Amino acid sequence: MRRAASLPQAAPTAPGELNLWKTLRSLLPYVWQYKFRVALALICLVGAKVSNVAVPLVFKHVIDDLSLTTGQALLIVPAALLLAYGALRFLTSAFTELRELLFARVTQQAVRSIALEVFQHLHALSLRFHLERQTGGLTRDIERGTRSIGSLISYAIYSILPILVEIALVLGIMLRNYDVSFALITVLTLLSYIVFTITVTNWRTALRRQANELDSAANARAIDSLLNYETVKYFNNEGYETRRYDEQLGAWMNAQIRNQFSLSALNAGQALIIAIGVTVMMWRAAAGVAAGQMSIGDIVLVNAFLIQLYIPLNFLGVLYREIRQSLVDIERMFGLLRTEREIQDAPDAVALPHGPVHLRFESVGFAYDPRRPVLEDVSLSIAPGQTVAVVGHSGAGKSTLSRLLFRFYDVQQGRITLNGTDLRHYTQASLRQAIGIVPQDTVLFNDSIRYNIQYGRPEASEAEVLAAARAAQLHDFIASLPDGYETRVGERGLKLSGGEKQRVAIARALLKDPAILIFDEATSALDSKTEKAIQSQLEAAAVGRTALIIAHRLSTVMNASEIIVLDGGRVIERGTHKALLEAQGNYARMWALQQQDEHGRDD
């Protein structure tokens, strides 16, 4: 697909400083990809307006000629005049439709390109950004923004310009053929209408923005509640969630009512201005006919021009309202595009070479909040073919290691190296391509089991997908399902049990075939029998690779080359399983407690 230049990374526009021209300049590169189509559309635009303005002129001559006696009229009125009248009517519509047809691809391609850029940018933002945003409100902002971009391009570029062209043509004809008072009345009516529309619409903009905020908040509340459907059921809080959603809807409803009141006031004021302008103009034209200065055809022409101007003039008010509302809608989406990436590739970043990787954490320190450090002076080394385990109580900072390795965040102290080079010198895409993970909390796409396994490597063959499922002890379970590998897993994988989801995650990681494997509580949702069956597969998968195991259940790390014990973000013990038990330290006490728990469950 053809791509235009990226949107300018300017500072976000303040709510009261929406700038139409700045937004149009941002959109121009996407539109200008189709210069030839735009030029043809402009030609059609001018042709349509010239034809439209010429219709009343031809009609005037027809009326004047028919004002003679009937016998003379039959001889004087040329058939060509009537044919021209009909032809101009047709050409007005034909040019307009041709313009819309030519410009349709331009508009839709611009919307497609910008929507794609927003989508890519959101994926490039840090995990911190996504954890702090509500998905429902975010998707609503994008939906409204992309819809409004098409409206803004169409209205601002190919609707305002035709109106201005038509007004200029009509005023020119009036100034040339009639008293200056006719043009003056038209100009005063236009200015009064425009000033009133802009003043009231500016007032309505704040109301629209408030309604949008409440709409996004209500949508986010609904989606958040539905995503946590099971939790709502566990605590019997359907009524509580309904009340909270209803409060949001109530606030949104009141905002919408205020918005509708302001819209009604705007429409009524516009209609009054137009009515006054039409009345004064027709009074002046009638006086001209009575004085013998104007013909019947002239009064018909003036009336036709008024009707013709009334439609685009009324549309101008609608356009201004829609443009202002569209700017409000896309303001937030453009704000997303201007959000700086917390994690970016260095200008001289290179791709991580394929092959074995020696991973080192060197005195790493990190904190999500500066007031509460998560990791302090953590060092560990994993050579190719080695498996290192990190254990500790919940909150010790174990899972943060994998997030730093994926560069969801950057270390604040020390560094992480791959083959002796700081990982920040590699591109994020090549870094993440070299890492496979089985996360503690497995979230699946609402698609088939096959799709979720193959997501690890979308180009993988059918045989490779089946082999990964067998290695994760998942194939027999899938084969027992009525739809087999085409079974849909539901929203976030809720149709599968925790253990089944975790085995899908294992199969997905194995299919990716990475140089670095991370098992973050990879068997925490499995029963003891399945865990033992999969444990050997995980150990086999780690052979020849750099493997990091993050675990709470110590029975899964007994065979690790080295075990790191974290407590409060610091390394307090390290060694093999046997050496740590002999040291009779924290690891030994954790082991003893877990052994007691397992024996208690057996009893």
pLDDT confidence of residue 21: 67
Burial class (CB in 10 A: 0-12, 13-18, 19+), 361: buried
Of residues 582 and 7, more confidently modeled: 582
Say yes or no to pLDDT of 60 above 90. no
Residue 413, SS3? strand
Residue 166: which of 47, 254, 66, 76 has the closest Cα?
Answer: 47
Residue type for position 160? I
Residue 56: which of 314, 281, 303, 284 has the closest Cα?
Answer: 303
Could you give the CA distance from residue 122 to residue 139 in angstroms, rounded to a whole number?
11
C-alpha torsion angle, residues 339, 342, 343, 346 (rounded to 10): 80
Say yes or no to pLDDT of 77 above 60. no
Could you give the CA distance from residue 108 to residue 103 in angstroms, rounded to a whole number?
9
CB 377 within 8 A of CB 452: no
| Six token digits for residue 355 | 């092959």
Of residues 100 and 257, more confidently modeled: 257
Of residues 12 and 487, more confidently modeled: 487
Say yes or no to pLDDT of 363 above 60. yes
pLDDT confidence of residue 1: 40
Could you give the CA distance from residue 439 to residue 522 in angstroms, rounded to a whole number?
6
| Six token digits for residue 337 | 């595009």
Give the helix/strand (H/E) hosting 328. Answer: helix 296-338
Mean pLDDT across 202-212: 78
Residue ranges and CATH numbers for the domains of the chain are 19-338 (1.20.1560.10)
| Six token digits for residue 46 | 């001018």
pLDDT confidence of residue 328: 73
Could you give the CA distance from residue 584 to residue 4 in angstroms, rounded to a whole number?
64
pLDDT confidence of residue 317: 62
Residues contacting 129, CB < 8 A, separation 6+: 339, 342
Of residues 365 and 213, more confidently modeled: 365
Could you give the CA distance from residue 414 to residue 125 in angstroms, rounded to a whole number?
23
pLDDT confidence of residue 390: 93
Averaged pLDDT of the chain: 80
Phi and psi at residue 528, in whole multiples of 5°? -60, -40
pLDDT confidence of residue 465: 92
What does the DSSP 8-state code read for residue 585?
S
pLDDT confidence of residue 154: 73
Could you give the CA distance from residue 478 to residue 447 in angstroms, rounded to a whole number?
14
Helices (H), 228-295: 229-234, 238-290
Residues contacting 426, CB < 8 A, separation 6+: 349, 350, 351, 352, 418
Could you give the CA distance from residue 113 to residue 327 in angstroms, rounded to a whole number?
18
- Whole-model pTM? 0.62
CB 186 within 8 A of CB 308: no
Mean pLDDT across 193-200: 82
Residue 281: which of 166, 179, 194, 195 has the closest Cα?
Answer: 179
Q: Tell me the residue length of the chain.
A: 603
Mean pLDDT across 356-384: 91
Residue type for position 306? L
User: Model confidence over 524-570: pLDDT tens digits?
Assistant: 666 677 677 667 767 777 778 899 998 877 888 888 889 999 988 89
Question: Other CB atoms closer than 10 Å to residue 111's CB: what's the count?
Answer: 20
Place of tokens 């000033």: 195
User: Model confidence over 279-326: pLDDT tens digits?
Assistant: 888 788 778 777 777 777 777 777 777 777 767 666 666 677 677 777
pLDDT confidence of residue 16: 38
What is the arrangement of strands in the sheet containing 562-567, beginning at the earlier edge strand? 435-438, 516-520, 546-551, 387-391, 562-567, 570-575
pLDDT confidence of residue 441: 77
Residue 590, SS3? helix
Assign 13 a pLDDT band (cuts: 50, 70, 90): very low
Measure the N-to-C terminal CA separation of the chain; round to a whole number of Å.
64
Residue type for position 436? G
Instruction: List the single range of 14-23, 291-300, 372-381 with lowest mean pLDDT.
Output: 14-23
What does the DSSP 8-state code read for residue 515?
S
Assign 600 a pLDDT band (cuts: 50, 70, 90): low
Q: Which of 90-94, 233-237, 388-392 has the highest mean pLDDT?
A: 388-392
User: Model confidence over 100-148: pLDDT tens digits?
Assistant: 787 778 878 888 888 888 888 887 776 777 666 655 667 777 777 788 8
pLDDT confidence of residue 178: 80
Instruction: List the single range of 130-134, 318-322, 501-505, 507-511 with lowest mean pLDDT.
Output: 130-134
Mean pLDDT across 491-504: 79
Burial class (CB in 10 A: 0-12, 13-18, 19+), 548: buried
Mean pLDDT across 327-341: 74
CB 170 within 8 A of CB 53: yes
Could you give the CA distance from residue 326 to residue 330 in angstroms, rounded to a whole number?
6
Of residues 603 and 329, more confidently modeled: 329
pLDDT confidence of residue 4: 41
pLDDT confidence of residue 59: 66
Query: pLDDT > 70: what percent of the chain?
Result: 85
Q: What single string gives the DSSP state of each residue in 263-279?
A: HHHHHHHHHHHHHHHHH
Mean pLDDT across 58-76: 58
